[in-house]
Amino acid sequence: MTNDVRSPKRWLIGEPLSSEKLEHQLLPKHLALPIFASDPLSSVAYAPQEMLMILLIGGLGFLTLAPWVATAVVVLLIVVVLSYRQLVKAYPSGGGDYEVARTNLGEKAGLVVASALLVDYVMTVAVSIASGVDNIISAVPELNEFRVEMAIFFVILLAGVNLRGVRESGKAFAVPTYLFIASVFVMVVVGLLRTAAGHAPVAESASYTVQGDNVAHAAFVLLILRAFASGCSALTGVEAIANGVPAFRFPKVKNAQKTLALMGGTAIVLFAGLTTVSLIAKVHYAESSCDLVGLKNCATAVQPSLISQVATAVFGADSIPFFLIQAVTAAVLLLAANTAFNGFPLLGSILARDTYAPKALNSRGDRLIYSNGVIALAVIASVILLIFRANVTQLIQLYIIGVFVSFTLGQSGMVRHWIRLLRDPETTGRGQIKRSLVINLFGAILTFTVLIVVTITKFTHGAWIVFVVMPILWLLMLGVNRYYRDVEVEVEVDATTTFGASGDHAIVLVGKMQKPVLKAIDYAIAARHDTLEAIHVSVEPEATEKLQAQWDAMNIDVPLIIIPSPYRDVAVPVIKYIKAHREEFGAEVVTVYTPIYIVGHWWEAILHNHRSRRIRQKLMLAHGVTVALVPWLLDSSELLYGRRSRTWAFPGQARSGEPRRPEMPVKRGAQDREVGAAARSTARNSASAPSKKGQDEGSLR
Amino acid sequence: MTNDVRSPKRWLIGEPLSSEKLEHQLLPKHLALPIFASDPLSSVAYAPQEMLMILLIGGLGFLTLAPWVATAVVVLLIVVVLSYRQLVKAYPSGGGDYEVARTNLGEKAGLVVASALLVDYVMTVAVSIASGVDNIISAVPELNEFRVEMAIFFVILLAGVNLRGVRESGKAFAVPTYLFIASVFVMVVVGLLRTAAGHAPVAESASYTVQGDNVAHAAFVLLILRAFASGCSALTGVEAIANGVPAFRFPKVKNAQKTLALMGGTAIVLFAGLTTVSLIAKVHYAESSCDLVGLKNCATAVQPSLISQVATAVFGADSIPFFLIQAVTAAVLLLAANTAFNGFPLLGSILARDTYAPKALNSRGDRLIYSNGVIALAVIASVILLIFRANVTQLIQLYIIGVFVSFTLGQSGMVRHWIRLLRDPETTGRGQIKRSLVINLFGAILTFTVLIVVTITKFTHGAWIVFVVMPILWLLMLGVNRYYRDVEVEVEVDATTTFGASGDHAIVLVGKMQKPVLKAIDYAIAARHDTLEAIHVSVEPEATEKLQAQWDAMNIDVPLIIIPSPYRDVAVPVIKYIKAHREEFGAEVVTVYTPIYIVGHWWEAILHNHRSRRIRQKLMLAHGVTVALVPWLLDSSELLYGRRSRTWAFPGQARSGEPRRPEMPVKRGAQDREVGAAARSTARNSASAPSKKGQDEGSLR
């Protein structure tokens, strides 16, 4: 063992990306807006609808209160946007509410936000897709009986797209999002113009009245609050930008803030405009079809969504603009659902980084991990859609709770943050900080109120599920963290740690006389251990005799020990042999060489390596054993080389701001095609195969 | 590397079981009968019923033909039993029809039998459980709406019992089986005695007539044949003994033959007796309830099974013997289903041994493999029961085909076998052989005829499914075999195979400074490679600085190389380093040491080792690399020691005749309890921990 200090610079490991290339991969504002704003903007598709629907429970008269409730929602939206502008400036690393809560309110509060976000992502998928399906059915009412099937189809579609690894392209998002903004805006403007011209649009449900419940005084207030709570679903998705700051181009914080403001402004305009036109057109959207007095066959009738009723009223039934708006709305909602597929793995890797989730989730570009996350999200969302029959109203009850939990804790964390800064006498710009403090304080109080309101009003309508699931997630994450902490303590180094060994013995496990075993023997010999022997556990006498004969014929310089196995077991006799050997020769390190097959197809994994893995697992329980895996590359492993030279766009990459490895060409060793199969397989596995100097760095041979 | 030849006898590896102990584990005839005969005897519960039911389609008059059809079935049963007596003598190794077909008719015929057997096992579970549920419902008709649920419940129950690993105890089988034989026999005798006394039993369905189809001449014959085919379901399970010869005590063949004869005789007596009494009591069991003229509310009425109607007629409705017979019949049917859970993995391991199935299936006592097999069987059987609504009649259509395919090919194989012996001039005992030839030839022709009949008559009733599934299985098994064969060719040794290497370099992958890494370093040092260095891939600059500081502080004698990783990837930079190193230093073997956590709980596997496994898989694609796993045993791994010292009774063990390892006590190292946790974890993992001389062989430390 030599003591050379070799400089790694002598072997340069890939050029780091130039700053230009890095900048190119980040998002400009006009592409960031669609990616991050699709979620909150798409809420416009269902928020006014839910708000007016709740008001209608009290009867037609309650609709006069709609402007006030809508104004309250708009005010809250402004406050929340302003609050997030502060948050983004103070925490530009992209941790969002989770980081703010964890840093300022403690670990357990951070975990509450994390569990709320996990629930959030699932609900984003469910609600967005249910609403999208709602709009499709509003255009084509015959599809109503396939509501749940369509919803699950879209979930599977999105999962498939994400498993394939399509890059979350800003351009792909841009078209539907800007189209949506434009068309709804145009619809609102046209509706207002027509009203001004004395030709106000009239909704198809305008002629239906609603049998209002007799609402007593206390229930009156409760109803208003419920409507307000439902209207607050317009705020869902606002926090996404806070998680995506690293993805913006420089100056990141300012760009993020501008985009936030733009997004907030657009959402307000669309929400307010849509609500206004709905009230003008007298859209009556009831909780269930049969609440509408005058609607024939109410049990089977389909209530078109609010946005579709407005489109019909403004542009005419089954007109081109009508179908356009339905299509674009559905598209934006699908994109909003897709943000969950991108945000979920990102959240998972952040939690893993903080050891609240299995460390495996923190692997960048590990296709398997992301695939598992995508599949998990798709399955859970599908189950939710099944249980609630893709009913937007019911799903929203669960949705808002999670959102407002993170809002509240995020704002409260910011308040703590500013207070901490103010306490520090060296802080400058105290005026600005005090202003920020007021904004966040106001935001925290307001969102907390909404949270209380939402909880009380929606608890019995399904929200209790969230209050069962979130604590379970919280406990799991805490449990994982405590487990990892205990393990860290267990493996912590102390001054006296030494593992000492007084010998170096090597064993090669020999089954049949085949190339992989020969390779293992050669490698064991090359490693020059103190002692080396080959061990064959005799399970079938015939095979053992054949092996002995071949061994002698090949004149292998390694002694072959044959151990009988009365119970056809391989591991236990070997372990006993090792124990006995150590008893005789002292505490030595025993290296057990065993071949392992490397294969290219997934189904080949079922056909190889299982028994050697079981043997290996048992061997490793004995003292002093280390298992050396000698890889044998089968022909099909060629596929792996090609696969690994291509890069893969993993979900969430676009919004994490991390650099993407440049595409590398697929290359195979040219020599392989010129020799026969047997020689080829030997050459593939030979240590002495010459490495090509100056070969393309992308190739790994 | 020394060249000592060490004698393995110096370290005695467990005493082989004494012959007494081995003999004790094998089955005496009185216990073998219940285990192997439960399947064919339980067929008596549904065969007469199905036979009479088909006859009744032609009208009441057809029942007069019943004795002839029953006689034909009995004759076939005798022929088949005699044929199997020959087979068992010629092939006592327990391969059964599969081995006979493979040896005498070729590989592809053997595979046909194998696929038939696989289908058979599934159908055995489905039919037996459906029939058992049928009998339970006959006793308690209110349960009829839960037919399918009950059936699936029993499947899950059996799967659970087998997953737990209950030994297929001869005694557990004996009671219900002998009780069944006794009670049905008594029932038949009592029925006949009553008839002789002029007090013949009358079935509850005797008063119902059947609207017979007008059966034309050709259809007449077809109907008789269909009834015969259904009656042949009484033969299912006869071949089980041929597969279980090794489990008998010496002399194995004679005992197996005697048991076969006993089983055949009992089946004949029960079948004939039951049919006779049914005809006397005028049991009318129709294909569907509404075919019975006179039965009120026929759509919802439950037709009690034939055996329950006979019991009611002979002993009286709701009498104790009635309930006893229902219970015992259901129990025997459950046991018959259980034989499939035992036979399935046995068949799997035989197929794996012959490389027609993944080699992993051939691992003895591998709990995981057997668990997977049990679960697979349970799931498929449940799906079948679901699809066919646990309807015995429909399920039997699929059942008989597979059974008679193996009968026919088995008998044909035996014919070939005898012909081959006769052709050999040195064979003695030719008279005996000619007799055997005649028996097997007659059997083959008869079973082939039945197979044709069954196929024609049942094809449209569901048998086509079998003709789709069996070829698929056949292709899969052939495919697996051809794949393994190609791999064998690929790894075949030739004279010039050499893997040569010209150097011995070792690398330790270092992440954080923790005990597992220190252990890996120590082991790498102990192995005394030519050169050794530690490599740290820098993903986070802070962590890297901390590591460097700790490394220097601990004065480790191994150079630490730090490789930057711009894309947060670990494997690729290491591979490039190795490549560059080999370019510089020649074709050396590079041993990469990496720690691996050994854990005790299943859920811990999710929390460890994932990323190092991914890195390892990529590293092994590079030339000259071998990966040395240095195990780190966490506290929870203590559980594994306790687990492995206990033996586990795997399904099929009782009937395979293999020796069972004796129970070994659970023992933990006493020293562990006396030292602190940190020292304990070091001690657990230290190579220099003294092995205890003369310690109980069951303990593996």
pLDDT at residue A651, as a whole number: 58
Q: Which residues of A fall within a CB distance of 8 Å from B478? A: none
Residue A447: pLDDT over 50: yes
Round the average pLDDT of chain A to a whole number and report it: 82
Residue A262: pLDDT over 80: yes
pLDDT digits (tens, 9 = 90+) for A627-643: 999 998 888 877 776 55
Q: In this structure, are B292 and B403 located in the same domain?
A: yes
Residue A359: pLDDT over 90: no
**Which candidate from B1, B576, B691 shows the least CB-CB separation from A532?**
B1
Contacts with B550 (C-beta within 8 Å, 6 or more apart), sequence order: A493, B513
Alpha-carbon distance A622 to nearest alpha carbon in chain B (angstroms): 6
Q: In this structure, are B330 and B384 located in the same domain?
A: yes
Q: In this structure, are A473 and A546 located in the same domain?
A: no
Q: Which of B641, B670, B693 is the last residue of a domain?
A: B641
Q: Which of A613, A641, A669 is the last residue of a domain?
A: A641
pLDDT at residue A638, as a whole number: 76
Scanning every residue of chain B, which has its alpha carbon at the shortest distance from the alpha carbon of A521?
B499
- Tell me the C-alpha to C-alpha distance, in Å, between residue A314 and each of A47, A309, A552, B51: 20, 9, 93, 73
The DSSP letter of residue B591 is E
ipTM of the complex in this document: 0.75
**The dihedral formed by the CA atoms of B202, B203, B204 and B205, expressed in degrees to the nearest 10:** -120
Q: In this structure, are B462 and B604 located in the same domain?
A: no
Residue A677: pLDDT over 90: no
Q: In this structure, are B257 and B360 located in the same domain?
A: yes
Structure-model confidence comparison of residues B16 and A303, the more confident one: A303
- For residue B11, being part of any structural domain is answered with no
- For residue B7, being part of any structural domain is answered with no
**Which candidate from A358, A554, A630 shows the least CB-CB separation from B626?**
A630
Strands A209-210 and A292-293: antiparallel
Q: Are B576 and A11 in contact (CB < 8 Å)?
A: yes
Q: Rounded CA gap, B23 and A591, in Å? A: 40
What ranges make up the beta strands (E) of B425-530? 504-509
- Whether B579 contacts chain A with CB within 8 A: yes
Structure-model confidence comparison of residues A213 and A671, the more confident one: A213
The domain that holds A551 is classified in CATH as: 3.40.50
**Which candidate from B624, B626, B635 shows the least CB-CB separation from A629?**
B626
Scanning every residue of chain B, which has its alpha carbon at the shortest distance from the alpha carbon of A489?
B678
Mean pLDDT value of segment A562-583: 85
Q: Are B359 and A557 in contact (CB < 8 Å)?
A: no
**Which candidate from B591, B598, B607 shows the least CB-CB separation from A628?**
B591
pLDDT at residue A572, as a whole number: 85
Alpha-carbon distance A671 to nearest alpha carbon in chain B (angstroms): 15
Contacts with A623 (C-beta within 8 Å, 6 or more apart), sequence order: A579, A582, A587, B686, B687, B689, B691, B701
pLDDT at residue B622, as a whole number: 86
pLDDT digits (tens, 9 = 90+) for B403-459: 899 899 999 999 999 999 899 888 788 888 888 899 889 889 988 988 888 888 778
Mean pLDDT value of segment B381-404: 87
Mean pLDDT value of segment A455-464: 81
Question: Which structural domain, as residue segments, surrounds residue B631?
Answer: 504-641
Q: In this structure, are B460 and B539 located in the same domain?
A: no
Q: Which of A592, A623, A641 is the last residue of a domain?
A: A641
Query: Which of A233, A271, A237, A595 has the alpha carbon at shortest distance from A398?
Result: A233
- Whether A13 contacts chain B with CB within 8 A: yes
Q: Which residues of A fall within a CB distance of 8 Å from B580? A: 10-11
- For residue A309, being part of any structural domain is answered with yes
- Whether A318 contacts chain B with CB within 8 A: no
Q: Are B690 and A502 in contact (CB < 8 Å)?
A: no
The domain that holds A116 is classified in CATH as: 1.20.1740.10
Contacts with A323 (C-beta within 8 Å, 6 or more apart), sequence order: A139
Mean pLDDT value of segment A543-564: 89
Q: Rounded CA gap, A613 and A601, in Å? A: 19
pLDDT digits (tens, 9 = 90+) for B9-27: 333 334 445 556 566 667 7
Q: In this structure, are A533 and A598 located in the same domain?
A: yes
Query: Which of A667, A671, A698 has the alpha carbon at shortest distance from A686?
Result: A671
- Tell me the C-alpha to C-alpha distance, in Å, between residue B285 and each of A182, B307, B391: 73, 11, 14
Q: Is the dihedral of CA A368, A372, A373, A374 positive or negative?
A: positive
Q: Rounded CA gap, B306 and B439, in Å? A: 33
Q: In this structure, are A582 and A474 located in the same domain?
A: no
Question: Which residue has 């740290």 as its token pair?
Answer: B536
Count CB atoms within 10 A of the CB of residue B420. Answer: 12
- For residue B5, being part of any structural domain is answered with no
Mutation site, B363, B491, B523, B598, interface A, largest A CB count within 10 A = B491
pLDDT at residue B655, as a whole number: 65
Q: Rounded CA gap, A595 and A617, in Å? A: 14
**Which candidate from A499, A687, A697 shows the least CB-CB separation from B589?**
A687
Alpha-carbon distance A524 to nearest alpha carbon in chain B (angstroms): 9
Q: Which residues of B fall within a CB distance of 8 Å from A22? A: none
Structure-model confidence comparison of residues B628 and A60, the more confident one: B628
Residue B536: pLDDT over 70: yes
Query: Which of B242, B243, B361, B334 has the alpha carbon at shortest distance from B650?
Result: B361
Query: Which of B189, B183, B195 has the alpha carbon at shortest distance from B282?
Result: B195
The DSSP letter of residue A167 is -
Question: Which residue has 């006779």 as its token pair?
Answer: B276
Residue A131: pLDDT over 90: yes
pLDDT at residue A101, as a whole number: 92
- For residue B346, being part of any structural domain is answered with yes
pLDDT digits (tens, 9 = 90+) for A72-117: 999 989 988 988 888 888 888 877 889 899 999 999 999 999 999 9
Q: Are A359 and B685 in contact (CB < 8 Å)?
A: no
Residue A589 belongs to what H/E stretch?
A: strand A589-598
- Whether B627 contacts chain A with CB within 8 A: yes
Domain count, chain A: 2
Q: In this structure, are A522 and A385 located in the same domain?
A: no
Alpha-carbon distance B680 to nearest alpha carbon in chain A (angstroms): 9
Scanning every residue of chain B, which has its alpha carbon at the shortest distance from the alpha carbon of A565?
B13
pTM of the model: 0.74
Q: Are A516 and B691 in contact (CB < 8 Å)?
A: no
**Which candidate from A366, A629, A634 shows the least CB-CB separation from B627?**
A629
Q: In this structure, are A92 and A168 located in the same domain?
A: yes
Q: In this structure, are A415 and A549 located in the same domain?
A: no
Residue A415: pLDDT over 90: yes
pLDDT at residue A267, as a whole number: 93
pLDDT at residue A266, as a whole number: 93
Q: What is the largest CA-CA distance in chain B?
A: 106
Mean pLDDT value of segment A591-595: 93
Round the average pLDDT of chain B to a whole number and report it: 82
- For residue B190, being part of any structural domain is answered with yes
Q: Are B626 and A523 in contact (CB < 8 Å)?
A: yes
Question: Which residue has 């194998």 as its token pair?
Answer: B114
- Whether A607 contacts chain B with CB within 8 A: yes
Question: Which residue has 């037709």 as its token pair?
Answer: B303
Q: Which chain B residues in 324-383 lie under 8 Å from chain A, judged by CB atoms?
A: 358-360, 363-366, 368-369
Confidence of residue A489 (pLDDT cuts 50, 70, 90): confident
Mean pLDDT value of segment A684-698: 48
Q: In this structure, are A81 and A119 located in the same domain?
A: yes
Residue A443: pLDDT over 50: yes
- For residue B187, being part of any structural domain is answered with yes
- For residue B89, being part of any structural domain is answered with yes
Q: Which residues of B fall within a CB distance of 8 Å from A691? A: 579, 582-583, 587, 623
